[in-house]
């Protein structure tokens, strides 16, 4: 089948393209690529993580969001372990440091295997064993480490050298693996081969589940057999937002990112963006004010979400009157010519990867996965690196281990699909914590407002509002940035393009055909099957 895929690594993209060549559809390509990414993109994603996906099926005329993000463990547990394995490490990002917590006590219920297997069963054409072949091949032969992945591994050295079991992968000879070397993950090919034979049961109550649970029980973890048995993949309708002549499909809660991106789009729709010059001073000020208004509104969203009635919370937050009150605040700030006051937002997991696929029949998949930064160890005899979702401060705002057992943990991941007149136009998403929203918003606007070609839309310099400061990526007109700063907007000029600004690997449908663009900020690659 013809089609296009954009992903975070050439080996990931090729895995998906191979499924299209074998007659698979976009769902097959996305699932195969995701499993391959757990080896090819080992610096940012792992098998023991979780994610969100969205599938648009033109034959059924519907879009379905697959929520397979992590849940809080502890079902059936009457008391905590005698000693919780939960340790802090500091990561030095240069301009700042950030603390993460690792160990068995940082592991939330993983969802990747359940979610990908369910997506393949619901929409795919090829057997699971076929979809897993590229990942098994990479696990056996070792994936070639590219510069982006090597740099990420080096950045996260304290996590990837935390225990002997994980050092065997990331520092097998005592030195961190480097670009151009092959990554060896002992036993992972055996686990994936077993998964091809047994399916999702392997991770729910089969040998992989048993190995994970035994290690948790012996070493101070929280996961229980009941957690794995009770875990469910949610199939949900998307949030639908009208924007210009397009319909934007976004994930609903537990995706906080989908709700906040919807809010930003509703704000931006009130302004004649297409009449502006892309990335000039007026455009930068508008982006700042929309991002600031969304950050201020987030507190209201958190209050509404806390009621437990998701549908009512979304309806109230995206209500036209509530949105209009923030539109007026943006208008006042622009008219007065000085920056409005945003609020700080907590950072989230930056180690996230996204992929986008469209096949020749118009089926589209947007898929985002994460493992946090990883729990710093490998489940014995499996090659599976678990997540550290419970060790992310922003995902645990009430304090660590305060979510009730079984609760789905909110995420900022926002796999996004755009339709025009009921047909696919664009598929996008991003990694990058709260920068996911700004990356997606600007990619959407570049295509839908400015009609930029996809590669230019993805590659255009970005801004992000962080703690009242407009972070301006290299590539902006210095005069435009200076004019914004002279108007009283705090600005930080970046000297280079950076992974900080996300990785919006995107595909699209144009009158000339299908197009794809990998975001080079995060090792992006694209493949076309004709």
Question: What amino acid positions are annotated as catalytic residues?
Answer: 352
Q: Which class for 479: exposed (0-12), middle (13-18), buried (19 or more C-beta within 10 A)?
A: exposed
Spell out the residues 6+ positions from residue 54 whose beta carbon is closer than 8 angstroms to its own: 63, 64, 65, 66, 238, 249, 251, 365, 366, 367, 415, 416, 417
d(CA 386, CA 372): 9
d(CA 268, CA 189): 47
Assign 475 to helix, strand or coil: coil
d(CA 204, CA 219): 20
d(CA 413, CA 54): 11
What the block records as the tokens of 388 is 């550290």
Pairs from 487-493 (Cβ < 8 Å, separation ≥ 24): 487/281, 487/285, 487/337, 487/338, 487/339, 488/337, 488/338, 488/339, 489/284, 489/285, 489/288, 489/338, 489/339, 490/339
Q: Of the candidates 513, 402, 453, which has an alpha carbon nearest to the alpha carbon of residue 3?
A: 513
Backbone angles phi, psi at 11, to 5 degrees: -70, -35
DSSP output for 199-242: TTHHHHTSHHHHHHHHHHHHTT----HHHHHH---EEEPPEEEE
DSSP 8-state class, residue 9:
S
d(CA 159, CA 69): 22
* Number of neighbouring beta carbons within 10 Å of residue 145: 22
């Amino acid at each position: 089948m013809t089609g296009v895929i954009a992903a975070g690594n050439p080996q990931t993209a090729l895995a998906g393209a191979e499924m299209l060549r074998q007659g698979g559809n976009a769902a097959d390509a996305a699932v195969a690529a995701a499993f391959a990414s757990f080896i090819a993109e080992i610096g940012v994603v792992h098998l023991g993580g979780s994610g969100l996906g969205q599938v648009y099926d033109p034959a059924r005329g519907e879009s379905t969001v697959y929520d397979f993000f992590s849940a809080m463990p502890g079902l059936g547990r009457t008391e905590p372990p005698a000693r919780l394995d939960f340790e802090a490490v500091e990561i030095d990002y240069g301009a700042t440091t950030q603390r993460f917590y690792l160990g068995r006590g940082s592991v939330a219920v993983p969802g990747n295997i359940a979610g990908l297997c369910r997506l393949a069963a619901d929409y795919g054409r090829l057997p699971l064993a076929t979809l897993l072949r590229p990942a098994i091949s990479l696990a056996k032969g070792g994936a070639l480490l590219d510069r982006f992945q090597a740099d990420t591994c080096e950045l996260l050295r304290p996590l990837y050298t935390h225990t002997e079991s994980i050092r065997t992968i990331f520092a097998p000879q005592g030195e961190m693996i480097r670009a151009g070397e092959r990554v060896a993950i002992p036993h992972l090919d055996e686990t994936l081969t077993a998964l091809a034979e047994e399916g999702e049961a392997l991770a729910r109550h089969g040998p992989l589940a048993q190995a994970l649970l035994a290690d948790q029980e012996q070493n101070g973890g929280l996961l229980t057999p009941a957690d794995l048995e009770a875990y469910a993949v949610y199939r949900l309708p998307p949030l639908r937002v009208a924007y210009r002549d397009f319909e934007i499909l976004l994930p609903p809660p537990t995706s906080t990112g989908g709700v906040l991106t919807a809010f930003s789009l509703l704000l931006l729709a009130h302004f004649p963006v297409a009449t502006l010059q892309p990335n000039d001073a007026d455009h930068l000020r508008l982006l700042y004010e929309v991002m600031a208004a969304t950050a201020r509104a987030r507190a209201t969203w958190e209050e509404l979400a806390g009621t437990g009635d998701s549908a009512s919370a979304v309806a109230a937050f995206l209500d036209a009157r509530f949105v209009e009150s923030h539109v007026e605040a943006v208008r006042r700030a622009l008219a007065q010519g000085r920056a409005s006051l945003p609020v700080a937002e907590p950072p989230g997991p930056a180690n996230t990867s996204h992929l986008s696929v469209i096949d020749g029949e118009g089926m589209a998949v947007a898929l985002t996965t994460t493992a946090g930064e990883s729990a710093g160890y490998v489940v014995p005899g499996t090659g599976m690196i678990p997540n550290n979702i419970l060790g992310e401060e922003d995902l645990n705002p009430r304090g660590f281990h305060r979510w009730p057992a079984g609760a789905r943990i909110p995420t900022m991941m926002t796999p996004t699909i755009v339709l025009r007149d009921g047909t696919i136009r664009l598929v996008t998403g991003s990694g990058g914590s709260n920068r996911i929203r700004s990356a997606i918003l600007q990619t959407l606007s570049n295509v839908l407002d400015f009609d930029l070609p996809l590669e230019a839309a993805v590659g255009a310099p970005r801004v992000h509002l962080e703690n009242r400061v407009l972070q301006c990526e290299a590539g902006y007109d210095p005069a435009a940035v200076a004019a914004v700063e002279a108007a009283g907007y705090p600005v930080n000029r970046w000297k280079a393009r950076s992974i900080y600004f996300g990785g919006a690997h995107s595909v699209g449908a144009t009158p000339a055909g299908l197009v794809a663009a990998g975001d080079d900020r995060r090792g992006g690659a694209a493949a076309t099957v004709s």
